[in-house]
């Protein structure tokens, strides 16, 4: 079966929670899955003062790691409608992998979190997807097989471009079960495509 990397950056834990759901979905399709996070670039005293979640158990990834996987699903919270600087700094270091074609044909996906319902989820997903397309990757989004993203009775995340959640202005809202179902669904779909291509 395929090897899948869930690569994420999470300041407050919302994306960390989504990453575990993505991984759960990929494992349900029989994939071998690792969860890794990108390095924090904010000084520790600043991160502590801002209430960052500093006890995340996932190992810190090295750029060279991503070439070892058949699929990479990238998640980060949004920053003004685009990916976080931490994730951008990590992906910006992958020029050597791009130049060698090491990521060509691999499967990619994206997921994100915003404070508000209209906080730039889709533009953030596209900022990640654009990067993955430049790497030569085949993108798998969150198709409408996950009907929960069309739910209109409660606040829910999700877009055709990837799984999402909404943290709330103060960060107190945790991913809903519908949001987590979307993450599991996308993880499974990415793994299924990778299994067909590489399994």
Q: Detail the residues annotated as belonging to a binding site for FMN.
A: 10-15, 78-80, 134
Residue pair 73/4 in contact by the 8 Å Cβ criterion: yes
Q: Any residues with CB less than 8 A from the CB of 132 and at least 6 apart, and which? A: 72, 74, 108, 110, 139
User: From the annotation, which residues make up the binding site for NAD(+)?
Assistant: 12
Radius of gyration (Cα) for the chain, nearest Å?
Answer: 15
Element (H, E) at 193: helix 177-198
Where do runs of H (alpha helix) occur along 55-163? 85-92, 95-100, 121-134
Residue pair 149/142 in contact by the 8 Å Cβ criterion: yes
User: From the annotation, which residues make up the binding site?
Assistant: 10-15, 78-80, 98, 134
User: From the annotation, which residues make up the binding site for substrate?
Assistant: 98
């Amino acid at each position: 079966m395929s090897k899948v990397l869930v690569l994420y950056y999470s300041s407050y834990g919302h994306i960390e929670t989504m990453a575990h759901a993505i991984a759960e979905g990929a494992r349900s399709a029989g994939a071998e899955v690792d969860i890794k996070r990108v390095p924090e670039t904010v000084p520790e005293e600043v991160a502590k003062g801002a209430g960052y979640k500093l006890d995340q158990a996932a190992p810190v990834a090295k750029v060279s790691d991503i070439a070892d996987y058949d699929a990479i699903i990238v998640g980060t919270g949004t920053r003004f409608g685009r990916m976080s600087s931490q994730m951008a700094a990590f992906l910006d270091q992958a020029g050597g992998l791009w130049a060698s074609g090491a990521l060509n044909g691999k499967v990619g996906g994206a997921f994100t979190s915003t404070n508000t319902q209209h906080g730039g989820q889709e533009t953030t997903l596209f900022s990640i997807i654009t990067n993955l397309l430049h790497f030569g990757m085949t993108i798998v989004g969150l198709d409408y097989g996950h009907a929960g993203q069309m739910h209109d009775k409660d606040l829910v995340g999700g877009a055709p471009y990837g799984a999402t959640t909404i943290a709330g202005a103060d960060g107190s809202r945790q991913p809903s079960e519908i949001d987590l179902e979307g993450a599991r669904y996308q993880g499974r779909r990415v793994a299924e495509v990778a299994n067909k291509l590489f399994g």
